[in-house]
Structure 1
Amino acid sequence: MSEQVRAVTVSPAMVQQRASDLVKSGMQVLLLRARPEWTHGDVSVGNTWVRVLPGVSQLGILDIYASLEADERVVILTDRPRDDLGDAVLARAYRQQIEVPDEWQAVPRMFPGAREVSRELRRLDWAATALLDHQPPGGWPRSTELALTARHAIGALLANLLGLGANTELDGIVVLTSLGQRDVRRSWASVDERLRRHVIDWASLELGAPAAFALRVAQRQEHISPLAVGLALDVLWPDDGTPVCEEQIAARARVEAYIDGKSIRVEVAQAVAQVAKTVVLRLGLDDSPELGVALQQAEALLGDLDWEKGAERSTILHPGYRARLRALANALDSGKEVEEALAALMDHRDAGTSTAPTMAVRLARWLATNEQTTTSLAQDLQHQMDDGAWVDAAIGAVWNGDADPVVAGAYEALITRVQERRQRRDETAATRLHQARDIGPRGALGIERLLSEIVEPWRHNGGALLVVLDGMSAAIGTALASEVARLGLVEWVPAATHRRLAAVAALPSLTRISRTTLFCGKLCEGGADDEKKGLATAFPGSLVFHKDDLRAEGGAALPDGLLRAMRDNAARVVGVVINAIDDAIHKNDTSGSDWDLHRVEPLRALLVAAADARRVVILTSDHGHVVERDSEALSSPGADARWRLASSGPAAHGEVLVKGPRVIAPDESAVLLWREDAHFGARRAGYHGGASLAEITIPVLVFQAATMSAGVSGWEAAAPQVPTWWNDPVNLVTSSVLPKPRKIQPSEEASKAADQGVLFEVSTTERPAIGLAEAVLASATYAEQKRMAGRRALDDATAAAVIRALLEHGSRAHLDTVAAAAGIPAAGVGQVLAAVRRLLNVDGYAVIEMDADGVTLRIDERLLREQFEIGGAA
């Protein structure tokens, strides 16, 4: 009886496998049921070559037998039934039969570890042939399952078809990312159309709609990245509820031409868009060149769809950023919905390209706060450290602005308003410089008292490293302080004020005067040798290292002499002068500079060495500086950049005449510029010597290694020093810097503030937030929570302060804002807030939790009242 098996065209992979079986068997001939057609030549199995020949009849096959040499092997393709061939042919064949090509039988053998084909894979009737035809030279990847799965096999097939390598693990993101490369798209487009359709259908089910979408786009659009089309879909079908316009609807229809000519469902379009945005994030991290191409293509595509303005709605495409930036500029001009405009801008991918927008909003917040009234120079200096330094830093970021005229105009108007307010502060402080009574034990800290009042007590705490950054302003000191903290050093501040110290420079605020005064502990003028003698006189055995003394041997960050001094107990104070800032302001444009540890080398190495030697670090300056920002050039013969002799003429607008022992000039008098927007002489990148707060305010920062838990009497570990407007929208709070709550009477608080020149007094007015915080602490539930916390329970004052801070800021605030309000040391914020959550999150309910951004704390007032059984509307 004749076989009813249909003869098919066999793949080279199938022939290769059967040739391998033949060689292993030791036989010479294998008959394979197939069309007698072959154009691929002989195949090799190891070192053995196997001939592949058509067998169209019994006689033809017998002729092949007759021609075989003793060591030859042959696979004969024949469509003749068994009865036609007869015993003479079958007797010499492998297994004495005609092998029927079962491609599924061959498939497991191509995947090491597999023994059979899973039912789901076998349902794909096209898969066996495809796996045989496209087997890569290195073979298919090992299967982890005995029954080969479709996910493993077809995933490997697709990866191989894309030219990625069969071992590539695929998902929608990988497929969309890979098809961003033109050679991958070209490889995919070269695949047989029928196989492409099968694979796309499988990908839709197994890898998701975004993967299938990418494959559909790439098979027709070799020159356009599927990622670009996906980014277009993001604005065509947004998921933010934005109203749809007519141009958008028309563009939706036109985009079908790029997606295999088929319509796309809303949920699919939004899924594709979401994956596309994830791909952009990944490519951005890798700095991939394909990303820039895709972004440009997406913009061009929206133009081709006759909806060019659609790109302005994108959170990925650059026109979207520009549109949001212009919206922010308009909000800054109008003063309306500024925070909302910033939030929209920060949602855009390009938001991190410039700090100017964020800084501009911070300045707008600052302008919205009430100006604090000061009554002394001490308060003016403290105000500059607590508030003005941050303003100056923000101005620097906004000054260089933006190329867009709308944005540039808004920034300029904002800076003008800020400078007007800052100028009033400078003028007020300048008028108080002549008050000798204001600089002394009960007033401002003069730089001549830095050794006796700061270095002297701290040098007993393991020795001190006194680092003087020549020209460091309060703004730069503020920026550097946050970086120093990240090195593992803990900042310390006076317990009386909870704030960083500010000293006042000697006048004029020049290096040869103010720095020498610092090291000598008395008002004087001199140079480096005088400074070394001065510190050695104040603290015998101490050493000062200047610029040339800091030159280290090759490969070393610090010279051996300095390191030896740091380890020498006899040198209780080691002084180091770093000129990086002062040098820069004389030579380089610093109007928009960001100052960090790398720009003031070798400060980082010094800090690490001090921590290793267990020395306290006192980081300070001799004077600050003003930055050149289009300032007016004034003429006065013999004048220095920011001051002139009193004999050269009376003080004009923007100047102040200062007199007294703190003025190192003829007749103990000089005329100083307090206007930041003016200078004498040649134009430079920056100036000092004048009377502006930026020049005369000297930051005094004290740090210890975290392993040194004890400070000196009258000092405490610092809470975050950031003003509230820096991180949070302006709210109805008592001041821009919230002081730590203390267990003393209001009258005592006011008395201490007056005595110590404290800038802000604590308001004793009862507010709703205070009432709610007190009610929580008085509740039975809170008492039970404290009992359960045991020794880990937080003190009531801190818990109440955290609750108040959050409620006063609309139930959410930055971590630093909360920590500053509650007086929580910066180094212990995480631990304290964990304790707060243990107290307030009753039964696991999230009364107080962290936002996803990792820096914003929020409180659920309704849940707080409910959990602690407190009445009143939330």
Structure 2
Amino acid sequence: MSAARAAVRPDAVRRKVEAWLAERDGTAALALAARPEWPAEPALTVDGVTVRVVPCLTPLAARAALHERADGERLVLLTELGDDELGDGLLAHLSKQRIRKIDAWDLVRQMFSGAALDPTLVRLGRWVADALADHVPPQGWSPPPGAIVTRDHALGCLTAELLGVPRAQLDDSGLLQWSTNAPAQRRFAGLPDPVAEGVTRYLVGTAGRTVAPILAAVRAGHGVDVIPVGLLAGVLWGPTTDQRVAVVTAAARARLEPRFGGVPPTPDQAAALHEAAEAWVYRTIDSGRDGREEATRLLHRAETIAEEIGVGALLGGSAVLPAGFGHRLRDFADAVRFAVPAGGVAVPALVAKAQQALATLEDHRAAEPERVTTARMAVRLLRWLTTSDDTPPATLREAVRRHAQQDGWVDRARLDVFTGDRDAAEAYRLLCQAVDARRARHDRQFATLLAEATAADAEPGALLRVEDVLDRVVQPILDHGQRVLLVVLDGMSVAAATEVAESLTENGSWLELTPDGGQREGVLAALPTVTEVSRCSLFSGRIATGGQAAERSAFSRRWPHGVLLHKTHLRAGAGATLDREIREALDDPAVPLVAAVVNTIDDALDRGEPGTAVWGGDTIPALRELVASVSDRVVVLLSDHGHVVDRGPDARVLAGAGGGNRWRPADEPATGLEATFTGSRVALGGGRIVLPWREDVRYGPRKAGYHGGASPAEAVIPLLVFSRGDDRAVPGWAGAPVASPHWWRELIIDGDTSAAGSGTTAPPPVATAPALGARRRVRPEAPQPDSLFELASDPATLPGVLGTNQARPDLVTALLSSERYAQRRDARLSLPDERVAAMLGTLLAGGGRATLETLAARAGVPAHRISGTVTVLRRLLQVEGYPVVTLDADRRTVHLDRDLLVEQFELDQP
């Protein structure tokens, strides 16, 4: 008897039987040199043939098996006997008339279609051959691409089968996805140590640095936590100069060691694992609802582990964990709180820190968009608070323009901040108080000027009033042969109008027009600022009061062929967005003017939450459908009055009877929160009323919002004009510049601090344009400018343009004087050097980036032309196909490659 042998593997026997049957030698039995033990079922079915496996300790056992063989059955005899011990009589019944050996590598060759074996594969050891024999997939191993079974091919096939991962996915991302499959991990953890270690060595050499910690965690029974721990790796293994943080993270890493079988990741492995885990989260979130749920589950698991190992307080360092967003928001709130001025002007350096904290907040991949938007609004308000507030307006027109061009944007931002945030409540409360204090000063200044002008009863001069709009805005457009759609959004404030304008122009099909391309102007409402006064005065062309019947009567007298639509007319039947008659009127060339009153915003003041709504096509369906139904009309959009929102417990309720929520008869003298108004533009109360100038005052029951008072938010009406793609559709009107004030946009720091919004200087002067159509005059004019809009004629002197009167960066000067730049200049591109200088100077000051809106404002380009202007700049600076200027995927952010600019134009580094 030969030496004791190892127990035979069932899969090895099957492979040997397959080869035997393929030989078709006609013998009934195959004897294999193996320990006479068989742990599996005694009968195998191989290629449709029944094969019975019989352990044979003695020759007698082998003889009995042959004697008892059923017809058609084949035998496999497992024996440690030698050929001489069996004898010639038994050998005659066996394949090859001898006992055959089971060679593991012969089986490997067989399983790979008889290909030769790479010697480096054989040198790995018997574990590879045994594993290949034990784990053959149902379809067999994939044949090698050549004549040799290489080490990489064999181990790649084996590893893919053991892990249940397609071979093409044996990388960081594929292994991380595999780590979420608990049953697959249990199968791997149950492998013999030589197999598991061999597979790990193979993957470490081919799949990257994350393999070792992933598989170590799996073998330690914690594989399902690989992604959560990877998400924490940036916090645990990240660099830090804070000794206390270093101690905490070192202790936390020690607590994690058992999860990796006592061998934690190296810093290099941890960094790779962190990167791969974050990439897995982003990819999984984007894969659909199920993916989002799975990613969210693991994100929360990571936060739980962080608390278990004592680093929950450090999660602000994570750019993906939801708790990290909360930490960053609280840090942002601290920065805002420190930046809020106790009085006067905010310190720019502290505001810059708040802006840096905002950038960190925005970088968080789990950022909640609405909360980030509120944080942006908070920074905008801080930037506004850095501007000077020393010079009050001298005239009512200046006060109206201040609200239309500055304070209306403040109102939009503070409405967001007023709604609050659970992690920034105190900071936002302090910010609102500082903003409200300045705005209250502005409101009082406005109300004082309004009361004086109303009492003086003088002609408005350049000031545009609600009763003048049809004469001075709409009629001149009609006189030019253009048809008009006039939309009156009842209750729309300047703040709401900024959102509506963005909504209408965002896809580029509608262009905003302003007189000669100047800034927006506001319209003064009638008093009190309620619908029955201001809207009736709008349609009447004079101060009047009345409801819809009075409005229709006045409108039809002026435009007998026009159409005026109120709320009930805008309702359509089932399946329709607009009534058929309305569509016909809009399409009819014989109807010069279609006017529509839309009550969505005003209705929200009674029943909705106007402070939280974002007004636009999505929230005002009637406006969306009306505008979508016209293509050859100029759209004039305005309101009859604005509104203020309810201040909740901060509101003040004053005694007042016989009026409305925000006005009362002048039966009692005005308090310090009110002002008395008299004159011909006061349509109620016998021409003498009391109006509150403070926004937080009311007389009547609580509602979501109010109007009627003398605050500019109520008394200044926004005026917006749009055309379908033609910025010269109306003589005297042109494409509007960027409407937002400088502090609304990103911080750009250079020599032009006023345009950058980084200093304490006042905003630049507003470009204006010639007067609109004159209105009949009855009384002498007040001493105000004769023109409604004045225009600066030299483009280089437009606000924000980096012209010859401002310092250019040395690099820009070098570029404009370079020989290569002179060669690339093309007169057909029509991009003057001053505009190139302005845009490049802005990009350089912004660290190589700026939004299109900022570039337009700083270069004096109309808002709708900035995309085309940037395209021309890109062509001008693109030498030999290398893009010096690029547009981000968001289609809003422009990037400048400074080094490439220097290289392509052979500039000396300044």
Matched residue type, 1:565: A
Deviation at 1:71, TM superposition (A): 4.3
What is residue 748 of structure 1 aligned with on the other side? none
Question: Could you say if the C-alpha distance between residues 752 and 487 of structure 1 is closer, same or farther in structure 2, counting changes exceeding 3 Å?
Answer: farther
Q: In 2, distance between residues paired with 1:691 and 1:92?
A: 115
Q: 2:787 aligns with which of 752, 755, 764?
A: 755
Partner of residue 572 from structure 2, selected from 516, 538, 552: 552
Aligned counterpart in structure 2 of residue 720 of structure 1, from 719, 738, 742: 738
Determine the structure 1 residue equivalent to 2:257.
256
**Which residue of structure 2 aligns with residue 489 of structure 1?**
509
* Counterpart residue number, 2:432: 415
The CA distance in 2 between the partners of 1:818 and 1:701, in whole Å, is: 23
CA contact under 8 A between 1:377 and 1:443: conserved in structure 2?
A: no
> 198-207 or 599-608: which moved more?
599-608
- Match for residue 475 of structure 1? 495
Instruction: Give the Cα separation in 2 of the matches to 1:399 and 1:658.
Output: 30
Equivalent residue letter for 1:351: A
Question: What are the ranges of 5 or more consecutive residues in structure 2 without an aligned counterpart?
Answer: 340-349, 758-762, 771-782
Q: Deviations over 1:439-474 (max 9, x none)?
A: 967423223333344444556676433333222222
Matched, 1:583 2:620: no
Shift of 1:740: 9.3
Kindly indicate whether residue 449 of structure 2 is the aligned counterpart of residue 445 of structure 1.
no
Could you tell me how far 1:480 is from its partner in structure 2? Answer: 2.7
Change (3 A) 1:669 1:796: farther
Give the whole-Å Cα distance in 2 for the aligned partners of 1:284 and 1:466. Answer: 45
Equivalent residues of 1:22, 1:94 under 8 A apart = no
> 1:339 is matched with which residue: 330, 355, 359?
355
Q: Check the 8 A contact 1:473/1:621 in 2, yes or no.
A: yes
Aligned counterpart, 1:234? 234
| 1:182 Cα deviation from its structure 2 partner | 4.6
What does residue 544 of structure 2 align with? Answer: 524
Match of 2:860 among 823, 837, 859: 823
After superposition, the Cα gap between the structure-2 partners of 1:206 and 1:699, relative to the gap in structure 1 and judged at 3 Å, is: same
Aligned to 2:343: none
Selected match of 2:562 from 521, 542, 555: 542
Give, in angstroms, the shift of residue 793 of structure 1.
5.1
Match in the other structure for 2:319: 315
Describe the SS at the equivalent of 1:398: helix
Task: Give the AA of the match of 2:381.
Answer: L
Q: More deviation in 504-513 or 541-550?
A: 541-550
Amino acid at match of 1:657: T
Partner SS state of residue 525, structure 1: coil
Question: Structure 1 counterpart of 2:261, which letter?
Answer: D
Check 1:271–1:725 CA distance in 2 against 1; reply closer, same or farther (3 A cut): same
Any idea what SS the aligned residue of 1:817 has? helix
Mapping 1:827-842, distance limit 5 Å: 827-840=864-877
CA contact (8 A) 2:748 2:842 kept: no
Show CA shifts across 1:236-265 (max 9, x none): 221476666333333334432222201432
Q: 1:161 to 1:867 in 2, by over 3 A?
A: closer
Displacement, 1:509?
1.9
Q: Is the 8 A contact 2:727 2:734 kept in 1?
A: no
The residue identity in structure 1 corresponding to 2:583 is L
SS in 1 for 2:618: helix
Partner in structure 2 of residue 424 of structure 1: 441
Paired residues of 1:315 and 1:347 also in contact (CA < 8 A)? yes
Greater shift, 395-404 or 726-735, is seen at 726-735
Write the distance in 2 (CA, Å) between the matches of 1:12 and 1:259. 33
| Alignment size in residue pairs | 857
1:120-171 Cα deviation digits (max 9, x unpaired) = 76665544543443345577789888867766765565555455x6477242
| 1:672 to partner: Cα distance | 1.8
* Separation in 2, partners of 1:209, 1:538: 79
Q: Which residue of 2 aligns with 1:796?
A: 833
Work out the CA distance in 2 between the residues paired with 1:785 and 1:752. 51
2:450 to 433, 455, 460: 433
Aligned in 2, Cα 1:809/1:129: closer, same or farther, shift over 3 Å? closer
Letter in 1 for 2:627: L
| CA drift at 1:367 | 0.4
Rate the CA distance shift 1:297–1:464 in 2: closer, same or farther, 3 A: same
Question: Could you tell me how far apart the structure 2 residues matched to 1:151 and 1:21 are?
Answer: 29
Q: TM-score, normalised by structure 2?
A: 0.81
> Residues 732-769 of structure 1: CA distance to partner in whole angstroms, max 9, x if unpaired?
5335666899999xxxxxx9998335699957997552
Higher deviation after alignment, 364-373 or 53-62:
53-62
Distance 1:40 1:811, change over 3 A: closer
> Which residue number in structure 2 is paired with residue 203 of structure 1?
203
2:817 to 765, 776, 779: 779
**Alignment map for 1:298-447 (pairs within 5 Å):** 298-335=302-339, 336=350, 337-353=353-369, 354-355=371-372, 356-371=374-389, 373-404=392-423, 407-434=424-451, 435=453, 442-447=461-466
Counterparts in 2 of 1:279 and 1:868: CA distance versus 1, 3 Å: closer
In structure 2, the CA distance between the partners of 1:341 and 1:86, relative to structure 1 (3 Å rule), is same
User: Counterparts of 2:595 and 2:151 in 1: how far apart (Å)?
Assistant: 71
Change (3 A) 1:527 1:226: same
The 1-side partners of 2:394 and 2:561 are apart by 41
AA aligned opposite 1:444:
L
Check the 8 A contact 2:815/2:905 in 1, yes or no.
no
Secondary structure at the residue paired with 2:450? Answer: coil
The one-letter code sitting in structure 2 at the alignment partner of 1:784 is A
The answer for the alignment partner of 2:21 in structure 1 is 22
Cα contact 1:369–1:730 (8 A) shared by 2 = no
Q: Deviations over 1:770-795 (max 9, x none)?
A: 586994686253762444x4523523
1:544 and 1:93, CA in 2 relative to 1: closer, same or farther beyond 3 A? farther
Alignment of 1:626-641 (within 5 A): 626-630=644-648, 631-641=651-661
Alignment check: 8 A CA contact 1:493 1:500 kept: no
- 1:675 is paired with a residue whose SS is coil
Shift of 1:109: 8.3
Task: Label 1:753 to 1:216 Cα distance change in 2 as closer, same or farther (>3 A).
Answer: farther
Q: Secondary structure at the match of 1:618?
A: strand
1:747 corresponds to which residue? none
Question: Match of 2:280?
Answer: 279
Q: Which runs of 5+ in 1 are unaligned?
A: 745-750
TM-score of the superposed pair, with normalisation by structure 1? 0.84
Shift of 1:18: 4.2
Q: For 1:818 and 1:379, locate their aligned partners in 2 and report how far apart those are by CA, in whole Å.
A: 27
Q: Give 1:679 shift.
A: 0.9
Counterparts of 1:17 and 1:484, CA distance in 2: 77
More displaced stretch, 728-737 vs 859-868: 859-868
Taking the aligned partners of 2:819 and 2:183, their CA distance within structure 1 comes to 66
Q: For the Cα contact (< 8 Å) 2:234–2:317, is it kept in 1?
A: no
Query: How much has 1:312 moved relative to structure 2?
Result: 4.3
* Identity percentage of aligned residues: 34
Aligned mates of 1:791, 1:132 — CA distance in 2: 74
Structure 2 CA distance, aligned partners of 1:658 and 1:147? Answer: 99
Match for residue 566 of structure 1 among 576, 579, 586: 586
Contact 1:811–1:859 (8 Å) recurs in 2: yes
1:130 alignment partner in structure 2: 131
Q: Counterparts in 2 of 1:615-764, with a 5 A limit?
A: 615-630=633-648, 631-646=651-666, 648-706=667-725, 708=726, 710-729=728-747, 731=749, 732-734=752-754, 755-756=787-788
Contact 2:528 2:708 survives alignment (8 Å): yes
Deviations 1:532-560, CA, capped at 9 Å, x for gaps? 45445444443344333333343443333
Q: Which secondary structure state, in structure 2, belongs to the residue aligned with residue 31 of structure 1?
A: strand
* Mapping of residues 77-116 of structure 1, within 5 Å: 77=78
Q: For residues 473 and 690 of structure 1, what CA distance do their matches in structure 2 show?
A: 13
Preserved contact between residue 383 and residue 759 of structure 1 (Cα < 8 Å): no
Aligned to 1:219: 219
